[in-house]
Amino acid sequence: MSERASTDDIVDRPVFAAEIRPHRSLGPKGFAIVIGSFAALNALISLPFFLMGAWPIVGFLGLDVLALWLAFRFSFAQARACEQVVLTYVELLVRKISPRARPANGASTRSGSGSRPSATRISA
């Protein structure tokens, strides 16, 4: 009986496992520099308009900064998505994990497919 259990452990043990994440070249420090520079440039551009009495332009230029911040926030949220590839002697499993996955309930936001390694062809 213990021989059977040890054989099952060997068969189910991953031969290869990898987690594939999208590459994002802008880190938190670079993000702060980009947003800060963009906000400072918009403030510099809006100052003459404010002094001339066209104060609504300041708000519209502020909306530009808000739109850029929201776009980066969405991009960083999408970067949390990943794919897991696990190869065992019995199965090749590819799991796509949603960016909304939480550690507590991650099973509900995962999708994946599996196949037998002997019947799988991978071409690059």
Range of the domain at 104: 1-22+81-124
- Together in a domain, 28 and 17: no
DSSP letter for 52, please: T
- Together in a domain, 85 and 73: no
Residue whose C-alpha is closest to residue 92's, from 39, 14, 28 = 14
Q: Which one has a higher pLDDT value, 90 or 30?
A: 30
Q: Rounded to whole angstroms, how far apart are CA atoms 110 and 93? A: 12
Q: What is the pTM of this model?
A: 0.62
- Together in a domain, 88 and 106: yes
- Together in a domain, 88 and 57: no
Q: Which one has a higher pLDDT value, 100 or 2?
A: 100
- Together in a domain, 29 and 13: no
- Together in a domain, 1 and 28: no
- Together in a domain, 6 and 52: no
- Together in a domain, 70 and 91: no
Helix (H, G, I), strand (E, B) or coil at 80: coil
- Together in a domain, 70 and 98: no
- Together in a domain, 28 and 7: no
- Together in a domain, 18 and 29: no
The pairing of beta strand 92-97 with beta strand 16-20 = unpaired
Q: Rounded to whole angstroms, how far apart are CA atoms 118 and 92? A: 9
- Together in a domain, 122 and 86: yes
DSSP letter for 118, please: G
Q: What's the structural domain count of the chain?
A: 2
**pLDDT, tens digit, 9 for 90 and up, residues 76-95:** 888 888 888 888 888 888 88
Read out DSSP for 5-26? HHHHHHHHS-SEEEEE------
**pLDDT, tens digit, 9 for 90 and up, residues 32-89:** 999 999 999 999 999 999 999 998 999 999 999 999 999 999 988 888 888 888 888 8
Q: Rounded to whole angstroms, how far apart are CA atoms 121 and 72? A: 38
Whole-number Cα distances in Å, 37 to 32, 33, 42, 56, 80 = 8, 6, 9, 21, 26
